[in-house]
Amino acid sequence: MELPVLPDQLFNDRVRIWQEYLDNRLDDPNVVNYHEAIKRMLHLEERRLTVNIDDIRDYNRNLADGLLNEPSEYLPPFNKALKDVVLTIRDINKHKVDDVLFYIGLIGSFGDQHISPRTIRAQHLGKLVCLEGIVTRCSLVRPKIVKSVHYCEKTKLFHYHEYRDVTAIGNEIPTSSVYPTQDENGNPLTTEFGYSVYRDHQTISIQEMPERAPAGQLPRSIDVVMDDDLVDRVKPGDRIQLVGLYRALGNRNASSSSTFRTIIIANNVILLSSKGNGGIAQIDITDTDIRNINKLSKKKNIFELLSRSLAPSIFEYDYIKKAVLLLLLGGIEKNLDNGTHIRGDINILMVGDPSTAKSQMLRFIVNTVPLAIATTGRGSSGVGLTAAVTTDKETGERRLEAGAMVLADRGVICIDEFDKMSDIDRIAIHEVMEQQTVTIAKAGIHTSLNARCSVIAAANPVYGQYDPHKDPHRNIALPDSLLSRFDLLFVITDDIDEARDRSISEHVLRMHRYLAPGTEEGVPVADKYGKNLSVGTGSGLGADSLIYEKMNQIFYNNSSNAEKSKKNEILSISFLKKYIQYAKSRIKPVLTKKAADYIISTYSALRNDELGANQRKTSPITARTLETLIRLSTAHAKVRLSQKVEEKDAYIAEEILRYSLFKEIVKEDRRKRRRLQKTQDSESEENECEAIDENNIEPQLKSSKKIATMQHPDDDTPMPDINNIHITDYTQEPSGRNIQQESQQETQVSWGSTQSLYTQSQIDQDSLSKDNTQPNLPTEQVISPSRFSLFSSKLAHLITTPLFREEYANFNDLFSEINKELAQEELFTTREVMAALNKLSEQNKIMISNNIIYKI
């Protein structure tokens, strides 16, 4: 008759097997040398050795199956074997580890036991499972008694008592948690707390990732027990992979219910995104992808190509797409020695009429960015966005639950219907949008949580539709303290334009006709959720991404020629994600002196220039606007994969900022303005325009768009003077705004192609002799903002002198006085003076007529 195997004998046999595994083939380079890994663990003062279960499966498949299906039988002897090996190879003088517990942490492929909080079932009870989720709640770290020591004064003896609960891995029977107060003879005992052994204990809750939850269903949650060295490894908002033992606890209401509460006893935790390293779930980038990214970054139109690839289903909105691209890349945050934090994330607010694709833009960001959380104004409260203090139903202790902005740390939060939030709830996000922290001082809890996220919000105007005859602040109805925290504020209006409406309708209809490759018409598309079956091993490099989207004739009909095809080409979504991730994580640009000077001059001009008659600021210009210019410039340098922020980056930042600040509106008085009729030579490949006879212009064309006209260089008609401009002939432009910046309401033709026809001497001789009306030149191409600021200050002084005693001055006299007391290298040229005077006349500060400058 065969004798049964005793539990202790079976336990010792498994310890011996695990010791052989840890000592196996130390000289084989293809096998993990666990002795070196243990020495490294001791050097780092860690207590958990990471072992790949795939290596165990190659060594002995029965051991791997035992770990997965019976972890309570196989993990305790594995931990005991690790302790024995540690005591064998340790340095006795350096490592005092006799009373220290060591643990095995598992990684690798778990097969069909890689699940989620939604798919966990009763069949997984007692097995080792792996799941992913977001940490939503963390309890306080409390000590748990492991062994208590008691002293009897009468017998002079020490007694000890060991404790085990249902959260311990193993098949040992749980013990009572009551302290003994007397020995077996009834003698009283005194507890020696100094000799007792305690272990750290913490419980957390992890929630199913929102992007993997089926549409219309709430994400599921599950509680996790963390012991000893695993406590405080995660914080609310972290995305983790968790390996642990799924176990059922006892039922307190056994007489009325037969259901049990379940938990997971953690064995190993792998951070997918943490606040410590600032990372998010990364996409694998191959060497080929990196070469393609570096090659693509050298293109001159890379900024337009990337922005055009964002939300291709949305028609136009070029500037908004450029701003969203800069938001995804972000600036560089600064943490100063004095504790000051300067945010690098960019915030955007879109205010516009209904049906202008605001929500669609937010949805594209949510589906594209690795870490993005979507919420709405009416469905969100202040504490729901920041953090809330709640009471644990079981322990009664206060606990902190992270809100949406804390969960979106190092990501993007999209808030739709921003105007529907109450004022009290909006005030709660003020701190998050600038300091990027959430400070809580409630119910005895005082702490600060990081919420370093970009905010992009969409709102409707007060009256449902944007009223162009009212000031922007009357349409938006948000306080300046909140608007100044948004770097960019875009006003989107639904204008009636037959040509544009036809283009939009054609674009929308092409979207509805599109059918994804490999799908049949009428068959619903199944949701696909990416899932990495390999835990903690890095899953290797992914496949190379296609750079450009394949041309689809439904989208790009009538684009047979190469020029149109090249103009319509966009990047694939997968490659666009890799480009943004690469540029955001690896490029850290530094401001150059030229860029800093340009930003300073731009900020000074924005603050001090007076607004034109038809200009309104959408948001206040404060010191935060200066930081906005820095962030936008830095983000544009990342687009070029440049380690330096150059002047051209600052120029693009100014262009986008001016577009968001100065949205041209219709004047309330509706005064008659002279307009030019747009004509275009369709047969010319260079799209040149012929001169228009001003006598044929009808003053009744109040809704026509202003077009700058040019003359063919081969025409015999004498070219009019390009510098002599009457302010009354044209509607005003925003101060300092480049004429090449196009808005959705106006189309302009640059004079840049005709400037080369004139030499400096010709301009100097002819600029004061002719009185023909011409459109504005790009002032920034003639005089820089710093030179314009110097000219303005000199002119302001001259106006108070006898030169303007008759309220006007001759141009020649003014020109000589302006250059007095200036160094040789600082003298103004005739072109600079004319450009500056033209700009001042546009701002209604002076008036020019027949070579005479009148002060206003």
| Overall CATH class of domain 785-855 | mainly alpha
Crossing angle (nearest 10°) for helices 61-69 and 7-22: 120
Given this model, what pLDDT does residue 533 score? Answer: 54
Residue 188 exposed, middle or buried by CB count within 10 Å (0-12, 13-18, 19+): exposed
Q: What is the pLDDT of residues 772-826, one digit of tens each?
A: 333 444 555 678 888 888 888 888 888 888 888 778 888 888 888 888 878 887 8
Report the relative pairing of strands 808-810 and 852-855 from DSSP bridges: antiparallel
Judged against a pLDDT cut of 70, whether residue 678 lies above it is answered with no
Residues 667-684: what's their mean pLDDT? 38
CB 141 within 8 A of CB 237: no
Q: Where are the alpha helices (DSSP H) in 673-784?
A: 760-766, 779-782
Neighbours of 823 (CB within 10 A): 6
**C-alpha to C-alpha distance for 129 and 116, rounded to whole angstroms:** 9
**Tokens (6 digits) for 515:** 């059918």
Q: Which CATH architecture has domain 112-252+259-271?
A: Beta Barrel (2.40)
Q: What is the pLDDT of residues 317-348, one digit of tens each?
A: 788 888 888 988 888 888 788 877 788 888 88
Residues 516-535: what's their mean pLDDT? 52
Given this model, what pLDDT does residue 293 score? Answer: 84
More confident residue, 273 or 798: 798
Judged against a pLDDT cut of 80, whether residue 830 lies above it is answered with yes
| Closest alpha carbon to 252 in 139, 394, 122, 125 | 394
Residues 747-774: what's their mean pLDDT? 36
More confident residue, 333 or 215: 333
More confident residue, 500 or 421: 421
CB 805 within 8 A of CB 779: no
CB 370 within 8 A of CB 282: yes
Q: Which residue's structure tokens are 């925290």? A: 485
**C-alpha to C-alpha distance for 302 and 298, rounded to whole angstroms:** 7
| Closest alpha carbon to 63 in 28, 26, 20 | 20
Confidence of residue 681 (pLDDT cuts 50, 70, 90): very low
List, in sequence order, every residue forming a beta bridge with 251; answer none if it has no partner: none
Residues 186-209: what's their mean pLDDT? 87
The answer to whether the predicted template modeling score (pTM) of the entire model surpasses 0.95 is: no
For residue 823, the SS3 value is coil
Q: What is the pLDDT of residues 573-587, one digit of tens each?
A: 888 888 888 888 888
**Tokens (6 digits) for 337:** 């020695």
Would you give the distance in Å from CA 745 to the centre of its chain? Answer: 30
Given this model, what pLDDT does residue 55 score? Answer: 86
- 54-81: string of b/e by CB count within 10 Å (b at 16+)? ebbbeeeeebbebbbeebbbbbbbbbbb
Q: What is the pLDDT of residues 395-405, one digit of tens each?
A: 677 777 777 78
List, in sequence order, every residue forming a beta bridge with 55; answer none if it has no partner: none
**C-alpha to C-alpha distance for 700 and 713, rounded to whole angstroms:** 31
Residues 718-735: what's their mean pLDDT? 37
Q: Which residue's structure tokens are 């009357």? A: 474
Crossing angle (nearest 10°) for helices 573-586 and 287-297: 80
Angle at 612 between CA 607 and CA 613, to 5 degrees: 140
- 349-374: string of b/e by CB count within 10 Å (b at 16+)? bbbbbeebbbbebbbbbbebbbbbbb
Crossing angle (nearest 10°) for helices 573-586 and 318-329: 50
What does DSSP assign to residue 606? H
Distances (CA, A) of 501 to 95, 248, 338, 350, 843: 76, 62, 54, 21, 34
Residues 60-72: what's their mean pLDDT? 87
**Tokens (6 digits) for 111:** 């097969």
Would you give the distance in Å from CA 225 to the centre of its chain? Answer: 32
**Tokens (6 digits) for 324:** 């969203």
Amino acid at 785: P
**C-alpha to C-alpha distance for 621 and 633, rounded to whole angstroms:** 17
Given this model, what pLDDT does residue 816 score? Answer: 86
Give residue limits of the domains in the chain. 7-109, 112-252+259-271, 785-855
List, in sequence order, every residue forming a beta bridge with 379; answer none if it has no partner: none
**Tokens (6 digits) for 26:** 């130390």
Q: Which of these CATH numbers, 3.30.465.10, 1.10.10.60, 3.30.1640.10, 3.40.50.1000, describes 7-109?
A: 3.30.1640.10
For residue 366, the SS3 value is helix
Q: Which residue's structure tokens are 């054609």? A: 506
List, in sequence order, every residue forming a beta bridge with 290; answer none if it has no partner: none
Q: What is the pLDDT of residues 599-611, one digit of tens each?
A: 898 888 888 776 6
Given this model, what pLDDT does residue 283 score? Answer: 67
Neighbours of 618 (CB within 10 A): 21
| Closest alpha carbon to 434 in 483, 362, 371, 398 | 483
